[in-house]
Structures are given as C-alpha cells and as structure tokens.
Amino acid sequence: MNPVLSAVTPNATNMIRLDHTHVMATFHQYTTTSRPQIKLGLVNTTCLALEVHAQLEEEIFYPAVREITENEAIKKAPAEHAEMRRLIALLRSMEPQDVRYDDTYMELMRDVLHHVADEETIILPEAERLLQNQLGDLGARMMKRRMQLVAPRTKDIAMNMARAMPASSVAMVAGAAVAGLLLGRRWTSGSNL
C-alpha cells in the first residue's frame, strides 16, 4: 500500500471498530423524550451509518475473512444484516411520533449491540491473527468504497446532523461561526485585538 495512504487510512478492523463507536455514540444520544426532529436526525444518521458499514463488510471484509476461516459468527452475519435492514426499512416508513418508533429503534439497537459483540470478540480478533498483513490494504479498499457510497448522500448527512442537534447546540455553533467571521474580518483588516 502507498505509505501516505497507509498513514491516513485505518486498517480494516480499526475501521470497523470506529464504525461501531460512531453508531453506539449515536444510539446513546437518543432518548424517548427527545423532540421528533431530533429523533429523526439520530435515526437517519444511525440507519445510513449501518447501511454503509454493512455494505463495506459484505463487499470487502467478510469475503476476505471467509477465505481463511469459517466460524459461526461470520456465517450468521448476513442474516443479522438482513434483520437490521428490515428494521431500518420499518423505521423509514414511520414518523417519529408513531407509537412504535421508539420500540423499533430500541430493537435495532439491541440487534446491533449483539452483532457488534460477536464481531469485536470473535471475528475481528481472528481476522487480526489470520489477515494481519492484509488489513491495511483491506482498510484502503473499504475507505475508497465508503467515499463512493457516502459522496451522493452528503446533503442528507448534513441535514441529519443538523436535525439531531438540540436547538441550544445549533445556536452555540452559529454564534461561534459569527464570532469567528467577525474576528477574522478584524484580523485581516489590520486591526489587532
């Protein structure tokens, strides 16, 4: 692998762990008492992250792991991804005010937690043992594919991030941006603070 690319791209197992961390952090922001707009942003963020993650695993990571091992966790992963996709489709067919919305999201969370536990305690350690010389290249391929999958969705990602922020955070970010602009103008116009 290109040394520069290697320095900025996590290897495949680290990338998977980073995805898990991102989804878990999003899960933990969700509360049943949040405003519908916030729920929608968090659910959409979770769903897109899970879809991209699953596609990367199915197209690149799992085939490489299957070439060297056949453990039960890797065999049941496709069925777990299919159930996750079913729940995502169900969530997308609902409004956040739907009485089943919270329960469906919590069911998705439970399924993902179980799947993550299997990956992090069985699949990833085995891949690190058996594929250690290939993990960097797999990570680079996964990063390239991620960019292809995410690029057409950047507007959706930005909108969901904005939805998921409480109004106080949005106001704080907007205030900081305005202050930065004002300070930047002052600084570039030659008047030092």
- pLDDT of 7: 60
CB-CB neighbours of 153 under 10 Å = 13
**Could you tell me the pLDDT band of residue 17, with boundaries at 50, 70 and 90?**
very high
Residue 187 has pLDDT above 70, yes or no: no
Residue 42 has pLDDT above 90, yes or no: yes
DSSP 82-117: HHHHHHHHHHHTS-TTSTTHHHHHHHHHHHHHHHHH
Beta-strand runs (E) in the chain: none
Residue 126 has pLDDT above 80, yes or no: yes
CB-CB neighbours of 6 under 10 Å = 14
Residue 104 has pLDDT above 60, yes or no: yes
Tokens, residue 69: 């091992």
Closest residue by Cα to residue 46 from 31, 15, 62, 25:
25
CA 187 from centre of chain: 38
Tokens, residue 71: 């453990």
Residue 33 has pLDDT above 60, yes or no: yes
